[in-house]
Structure 1
Amino acid sequence: MAFKDMAAKDMDDMVDNAKSASDFLKAISHEGRLRILCHLVTGEKSVAELEDLLSARQAAVSQQLSRLRQEQLVTTRRDGKTIYYRLADDRSRRILHVIHEMFCKKN
C-alpha cells in the first residue's frame, strides 16, 4: 500500500504507535543485539553459547539480552541453572527477514 493511498485511520494508527515503533527500532539498531537475534533464528541458545558465538563477555551478552527481553523480542526457558533464549514471536523473524532482504541479498 502506498502511503498516499493510506486511509486517515491507518495514518492515525501509525502516529499513535510511533513511540512503540521507535523503541523497537532502537532495540534492534545495536549491532550486538542484532547479532544475537540472527543467532536465535536457528533456535534457542544459552547465554554461554551466545558468548561463544559472539566472542563476547557474559556481562555484555546478558546486558543485550535484557534489552531484547524488555522489548519482548526474546523469551527464556530455564533448565536447571541454564537459561535458554529464543525469539519471542514471529515479529522478530519477520524483521530479520526484511533486514536480510535489504542488506544480504544481491540485486
Structure 2
Amino acid sequence: MGGVVEFQAKATEVATLLEAVANERRLMLLCKLLEPGEATAGSLADAAGLSRSALSQHLTVLREQEIVTHRRERQTLWSRVADPRIDDLFSAPHAMFCPRRDAFASTTRP
C-alpha cells in the first residue's frame, strides 16, 4: 500500500507544479527566464506584455510554489528560476516554442 500512497503524493506534487505554470503569461515568463537565467522585472513585463501589477501577481504565484526566486540589486529586482525541475519539464517545449536567446539580448543582463 505504501507504493500507492507515495505515487499519489508525487502525482499531487506534479499536478500542483503544472497548475502553477498552466497559464500562458507564466509560461512566457518562464521561457524568458530559462534563456538568460535571470531577468529584471521590467524586461519580464515587456516580454510578456504585462503591466507591473499583473507581472507581480504572476511572479507571486510562481514564488509561492518556489518555482522562481528573486534578488534585489539597489532598486532593480532580478528574477530567476529556482526549481531545477523546470529545466527538465521545459526542455522540449522551450526548444520548440520559445524565442531564441538573441531575441532577448537587449533586455537581459550580460
Q: Which has the higher contact order (CA 8 A, sep 6+)?
A: 2
Matched, 1:29 2:22: yes
- Identity across the alignment (%): 30
Residues 9 and 100 of structure 1: CA distance in aligned 2, closer, same or farther (over 3 Å): farther
In the alignment, is the contact (CA less than 8 A) between 2:20 and 2:61 conserved in 1?
Answer: yes
Number of the residue aligned with 1:57: 51
Look up the equivalent residue of 1:47 and give its one-letter code. Answer: A
Separation (CA, whole Å) in 1 of partners of 2:83 and 2:13: 16
Q: How many residues align?
A: 96
Which of 59, 69, 80 pairs up with 2:74? 80
The 3-state SS of whatever aligns with 1:65 is helix
Deviation at 1:73, TM superposition (A): 0.6
Q: Secondary structure of 2:79's partner?
A: strand
Instruction: List structure 1 segments (4+ residues) > 6 angstroms apart after TM superposition.
Output: none
| Equivalence for 2:5 | 12
The normalised TM-score by structure 2 is 0.76
Q: Provide the C-alpha distance between the structure 1 equivalents of 2:9 and 2:59, rounded to a whole number of angstroms.
A: 27
RMSD over aligned Cα atoms: 2.0
